[in-house]
Amino acid sequence: MEKIYKYSDLIAKLKSNQPYFRISYRGLHDETSMELDFDYCCKAVWAMQNLHYGVEEIGHHSNSWKMPNSLQTIISAGRHKGISFYCTSQRASNCHPLIRALATRIVTFKQTEPRDIEWLSEVMGDKAIEATKLEKYKSIEWSDDDSSHNTDLDTNAPQE
């Protein structure tokens, strides 16, 4: 995976029109604010088509009551351009309602906060109670195609 740290390098990579590539964009290495940098990144993604866009710790950029318009566009209309959106969050209840409403797959580890368990219960029913009892590296996976199962994820495994 290629790591890119400057917005101008991200744009150049996206314009190169390679059929397949994986990049990890880590902005904020210049004078640009985090909010503006994330907005630029979302706009660059929107300019593309047929891609997977992942945001680690979405809570740094959005919360349950506000979301940048550029991200809202990707989430609500990205499917028309073949853009799939993925994100991670430590607390589902803090994610913007649009993200929660359009989620087609949820992987959760142990949950202890009542609001998070309540939301998971609304989505996955009684299966959410299991999330309060999960051991380390164990998770529950839910999908909108009615499939759900428990998984054993070794988060200590080497990553690319």
pLDDT in tens, 65-94: 999 999 999 999 999 999 999 999 999 889
Q: Are 22 and 51 in contact (CB under 8 A)?
A: no
Same domain, 82 and 131: no
**What pLDDT shows up at residue 66?**
96
Rounded to two decimals, the pTM is 0.78
Report in angstroms the alpha-carbon separations of 76 from 67, 84, 123.
12, 10, 19
Number of domains comprising the chain: 2
Same domain, 156 and 118: yes
Same domain, 90 and 112: no
Same domain, 32 and 71: yes
Q: Are 30 and 36 in contact (CB under 8 A)?
A: no
